C-alpha cells in the first residue's frame, strides 16, 4: 500500500496526507504480524537468535530466490540449508550479497520505466522480507514463499519485454518467451510426477539434500502411512545414529523422530524376532531406550524382550530403571514382576 501511495500521483494532496489514509491498514497489519509471531514463537516454529546471526543468512536467502527465479532447475522442498554464520560462512555470505545486489542493479538498469521498476522490485523485497530469515524460521528457503513476490517481477519482466518489442526486437522476444515457456512446461511436468505421492516427493528431496534430516523424517512418515515400518526404521536410523548421513540433535528433529519411532519400533523388533535375529531385535529396543531414556513404555518392552530370550539380569536392570523413573512398580505386567521375585522360569544365558 505504501508503494502504491508513493508511486501513484493523484490529486494535489501532500504525500503525508495520502499515507495517513492507509495508517489504519498498517496498524491492523502490524497487530496481525505481532500475533502471528507470538503464536509461532510459542509453537517453536521460529527460534530467537541475535540480530547478527539472523542477518548472516539473509544475503544467501535472497540470492537463492534469484537463482530459483531465473534458473528453476534445482527445485526441492525443503531446501535444507542450515543457517549461515559469519565465522564459518563469511565467503558464502559475501558472494551471496554480491549476487543479490548485482541482479537487483541489472534489473534496475534494464527497466524502461523507473516507477514500474521501483514498484516491482519493492513488491519483490517487501513480500520476501518476512521469510528472509529476519524472523528466524526452521526453513531458510521454500519455493512456496515465492508465490506472492513473483507477481512483481512478472510485471517488471513484461515491462522490459514490451520495451524491447517496441524497439522492433520481436524475434529476440519471441525466442526468449518461447524458451521460458518451454522450460517451465518441462519443469511442471517433472515436478508433477514428483508430487504424485509422499514417497516420490521425499525421495526427490533426499537425492538433492542427502544429509537433510527433514527429508528423511518425511520419507519415514510416508513409509509409516503405507505400513512399512522396516523402511521407516532405516530412515530414522540415519538421523539418530551418530555416524548416520543425516545425524541431528536438533530438538525439533528429535521430537519428530521420537514420535515416528514410537509407532514402529515394536513392529520392527518383532519382525526380527520372527526371523530368528534376536540380537537385532534387542538392538532395536535398546536403541529406542537410549533415544528416549525418560519414557517408560520402551523400557517395559525391552525388559519383556530380555525376559522372552532368557536374559533375566538385563530385564531386572530395566525394571530398576523403571522403578526410579516411576517411583515404584505399579502398573507393570505381572510376568515382569515375577522376575523380581525369582519365580519366573527363565534363566540367564
pLDDT tens track for 109-166: 999 988 889 889 999 999 998 888 877 776 778 888 889 999 999 999 999 888 888 8
Residue with cell 522490459: 160
Torsion of CA 300, 303, 307, 312, to 10 degrees: -140
Contact criterion met (CB below 8 Å) for 218 and 224:
no
d(CA 134, CA 126): 12
pLDDT of residue 349: 40
> Which residues, including other chains, have CB under 8 Å from residue 55's CB and lie 6 or more apart?
134
Give just the sign of the alpha carbon dihedral 177, 178, 179, 184.
positive
Q: Which of 201, 215, 202 is nearest to 257 (CA)?
A: 215
pLDDT of residue 280: 95
pLDDT of residue 333: 76
Coil, strand or helix: which one is 117? Answer: helix
Q: Which residues pair with 141 in a beta bridge?
A: 79
Coil, strand or helix: which one is 46? Answer: strand
pLDDT of residue 345: 46
pLDDT of residue 53: 66
Query: Structure pTM?
Result: 0.69
Q: Which three cell numbers stand for residue 106?
A: 541489472
The low-confidence residues of the chain, meaning pLDDT below 50, are 343, 345-349
pLDDT of residue 347: 43
pLDDT of residue 259: 94
pLDDT tens track for 290-324: 999 999 999 999 999 998 998 988 988 998 888 88
Amino acid at each position: 500500500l505504501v508503494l502504491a501511495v508513493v508511486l501513484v500521483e493523484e490529486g494535489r494532496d501532500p504525500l503525508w496526507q495520502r499515507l495517513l489514509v492507509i495508517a489504519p491498514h498498517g496498524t491492523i497489519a502490524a497487530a496481525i504480524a505481532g500475533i502471528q509471531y507470538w503464536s509461532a514463537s510459542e509453537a517453536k516454529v521460529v527460534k530467537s537468535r541475535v540480530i547478527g546471526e539472523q542477518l548472516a543468512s539473509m544475503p544467501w536467502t535472497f540470492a537463492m530466490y534469484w537463482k530459483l527465479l531465473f534458473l528453476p532447475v534445482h527445485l526441492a522442498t525443503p531446501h535444507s540449508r542450515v543457517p549461515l554464520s559469519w565465522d564459518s560462512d563469511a565467503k558464502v555470505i559475501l558472494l551471496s550479497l554480491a549476487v543479490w545486489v548485482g541482479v537487483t542493479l541489472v534489473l534496475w538498469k534494464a527497466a524502461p520505466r523507473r516507477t514500474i521498476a521501483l514498484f516491482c522490485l519493492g513488491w519483490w523485497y517487501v513480500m520476501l522480507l518476512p521469510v528472509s530469515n529476519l524472523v528466524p524460521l526452521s526453513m531458510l528457503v521454500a519455493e512456496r514463499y515465492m508465490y506472492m513476490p513473483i507477481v512483481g517481477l512478472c510485471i517488471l519482466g513484461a515491462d522490459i519485454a514490451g520495451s524491447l518489442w517496441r524497439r522492433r526486437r520481436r524475434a529476440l522476444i519471441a525466442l526468449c518467451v518461447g524458451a521460458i515457456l518451454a522450460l517451465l512446461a518441462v519443469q511442471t511436468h517433472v515436478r508433477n510426477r514428483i508430487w504424485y505421492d509422499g514417497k516420490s516427493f521425499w525421495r526427490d528431496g533426499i537425492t538433492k539434500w542427502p544429509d537433510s534430516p527433514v527429508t528423511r523424517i518425511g520419507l519415514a512418515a510416508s513409509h509409516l502411512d503405507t505400513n512399512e515400518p522396516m523402511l521407516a526404521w532405516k530412515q530414522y536410523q540415519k538421523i539418530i545414529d551418530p555416524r548416520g548421513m543425516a545425524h541431528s540433535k536438533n530438538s525439533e528433529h528429535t521430537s519428530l523422530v521420537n514420535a515416528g519411532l514410537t509407532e514402529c519400533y515394536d513392529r520392527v523388533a518383532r519382525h526380527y524376532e520372527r526371523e530368528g535375529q534376536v540380537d537385532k531385535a534387542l538392538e532395536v529396543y535398546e536403541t529406542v531406550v537410549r533415544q528416549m531414556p525418560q519414557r517408560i513404555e520402551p523400557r517395559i518392552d525391552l525388559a519383556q524382550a530380555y525376559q522372552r530370550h532368557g536374559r533375566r539380569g538385563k530385564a531386572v536392570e530395566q525394571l530398576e530403571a523403571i522403578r526410579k523413573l516411576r517411583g515404584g512398580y505399579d502398573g507393570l505386567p505381572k510376568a515382569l514382576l515375577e522376575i523380581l521375585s525369582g519365580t519366573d522360569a527363565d534363566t540367564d544365558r
